[in-house]
Amino acid sequence: MSLEKVLSIAGKPGLYKLLTQTRTGFIAESLIDKKKISVSIHQNVSLLSEIAVYTLTEEVPLREVFKKIKEKEDGGATSVSHKDSKDQLEEYFFEVLPDYDEDRVYVSDIKKVIQWYNLLQKHDMMDFEASEKVKASDEEE
């Protein structure tokens, strides 16, 4: 599944899969407990495909950060938990993305990235290359 269908909803834990659109918003399914919820268009929702991480030179799409974590961890879960200390999290993120902007990327952001990566990895949703190929073929048509 591509990141275009994965959502983060403010005030709600975890990630959600976009199922369908309604007149007043959309229906999403939690990746944590599979419960379906109705989401209003007034709620603050972010598509993971639209999120990027600040570096000293550019903004790196979250997809690329996930790929780097996947390479570092050989496709497995992260070696650190989102509950680890600030120093451990920053050290880990520095190994993954050495030029990330420490002034604009907060520990809370690093926690979210690690938590989201582990959730996607647990649900076997880490095949971004396949989704990019589908997207590229769609654009060619």
pTM, 2 dp: 0.84
Q: What is the residue range of 75's domain?
A: 51-140
The answer on 135 and 118 residing in a single domain is yes
The answer on 118 and 96 residing in a single domain is yes
How far is the C-alpha of 102 from the C-alpha of 53, rounded, in Å?
11
- 6-10, 19-23, 119-123, 133-137, range with the lowest pLDDT: 133-137
Per residue in 92-123, pLDDT tens? 999 999 999 999 999 999 999 999 999 999 98
The answer on 57 and 27 residing in a single domain is no
Judge whether 114 and 62 are in contact, CB under 8 Å.
no
The answer on 89 and 20 residing in a single domain is no
What number of other Cβ atoms are within 10 A of residue 3's Cβ?
A: 22
The answer on 66 and 36 residing in a single domain is no
**Would the CA dihedral through 49, 86, 78, 64 be positive or negative?**
positive
Judge whether 27 and 20 are in contact, CB under 8 Å.
yes
Q: In angstroms, what is the C-alpha Rg of the chain?
A: 16
Backbone angles phi, psi at 26, to 5 degrees: -160, 170
Q: What is the pLDDT of residue 129?
A: 57
